[in-house]
Amino acid sequence: MNDTTTKMMDMRSQEMQQMPETSGMDTMMMQECIEACSAMEQACTMCADSMMGADMSMCRSMCANAADVASAMMRMMMRPNGMTRDTMMAMLQATTMMATMCADECMSMADMSEECRMCAEVCRQCAMACQKMMDSMSMA
Asked whether position 87 contacts its own copies by CB under 8 A, the answer is yes
Helix (H, G, I), strand (E, B) or coil at 3: helix
Asked whether position 131 contacts its own copies by CB under 8 A, the answer is no
| Start-end of H helices in the chain | 3-16, 27-50, 57-77, 85-107, 114-139
Helix (H, G, I), strand (E, B) or coil at 102: helix
Which one of residues 17, 24, 28, 75 is an interface residue with its own copies (CB under 8 A)?
A: 75
Which one of residues 80, 103, 109, 133 is an interface residue with its own copies (CB under 8 A)?
A: 80
Rounded Cα–Cα distance for residues 128 and 31 (Å): 13
Cβ 51 vs Cβ 60: under 8 Å: yes
Asked whether position 124 contacts its own copies by CB under 8 A, the answer is no
Asked whether position 24 contacts its own copies by CB under 8 A, the answer is no
Minimum distance from residue 17 beta carbon to its own copies (Å): 15
Which one of residues 17, 24, 108, 114 is an interface residue with its own copies (CB under 8 A)?
A: 114
Asked whether position 68 contacts its own copies by CB under 8 A, the answer is yes
